[in-house]
Amino acid sequence: MTAPFALMAAGAHSAQPALLPPRDHEGLRRLEAKILELPQVDMPVEHAHCDGLYARTIKIPAGVVLTGKAHRHECFFVVRRGRIAVTKGDTVVLLEAGDMLVTPAGSMRAGVTLADTEVTTFHANPSNERDPVALWDQYVIAEPVRALGDQPAMVN
């Protein structure tokens, strides 16, 4: 099977995509299904709050291939530490500590960490919700699954 994206010149500052990532979420979901067949890695999550804002930080070890979830609203994606190559539209970009992207609503990403990495997403939180499960439901788009008769259904 061909990976949705691969990096050439590992360790170089600029990652060059050997293959472009899939444009649709279906390709990323296929990648995610393959990743889930592999041994899983602990990636601690920290939640921080201030008035009207929620920050979710994930600590990812070096060498991890991962996919993100589609968010309901655009948000900031900040690399706080490390290096990570991520999909951005139909390209792959290399991000380092201090780099920031705007994640458009509805988009998904795949990535691979090139060093121990911490990334934080920042979300508007006008209700000042603090419960991580409620926040997940509020910000993440439910994934379609196939039900009986091959009709799409939604699950969180």
Convert the pLDDT of each residue in 2-46 to its tens digit.
Answer: 233 333 223 333 333 333 344 467 777 788 888 778 888 899 999
Q: Which fold has domain 7-145?
A: Jelly Rolls (2.60.120)
CB-based contact 82:122 (threshold 8 Å): no
Token pair belonging to 129: 């919700």
Classify residue 26 by burial, with Cβ atoms within 10 Å: 0-12, 13-18, 19+.
exposed
Q: Where are the domains of the chain?
A: 7-145
Residue corresponding to tokens 């279906």: 26
What average pLDDT does the chain have?
78
Token pair 């472009």 is found at 20
Asked whether the whole model's pTM tops 0.85, one would answer no
Segment 43-89, tens digit of pLDDT: 999 999 999 999 999 999 999 988 888 888 999 999 999 999 998 87
| Distance from C-alpha of 94 to C-alpha of 117, rounded to nearest angstrom | 12
